[in-house]
Amino acid sequence: MAKNYFYIILFFLAFSFTGFAQDGKPQGESLGFYPNPVSNGKIYITSKTSLDKEVLIFDVLGKKVLQTTISSRELNIASIPPGVYIIKITEADTTATRKLIVR
């Protein structure tokens, strides 16, 4: 059991050291989101193209809490309770996985 917690912590640390600008937008990446942390119940997906995006959000235990496909930039996550999550955004052959904080 302790071994599983070790891998979860290691997973979060791997994504904690990514660079973000002060406004929360990823620097130099083709696929990302902002704001992070989220306090208004909405995130905005940034991309160089306007293709459909599949969004998966997992809690810290790896349970899927949201799965959707969007064609716009805006995603409503008001139904997700406050906490720390992992968000995976896929557009065509590009995937970005980041830590998401919901307040």
pLDDT band at residue 100 using 50, 70 and 90 as cut-offs: very high
pLDDT band at residue 30 using 50, 70 and 90 as cut-offs: confident
pTM over 0.75: no
Paired strand residues for 45: 33
pLDDT band at residue 26 using 50, 70 and 90 as cut-offs: very low
Tokens found for residue 19:
């660079």
Domain that holds residue 62: 2-102
For residue 20, the domain's CATH number is: 2.60.40.3080
Q: CA 74 to CA 17: how far, in whole Å?
A: 25
Looking at the 3D structure of the chain, how many domains does it have? 1
In the predicted model, what is the mean pLDDT of residues 13-24? 47
Contact by Cβ (8 Å): 57, 77: yes
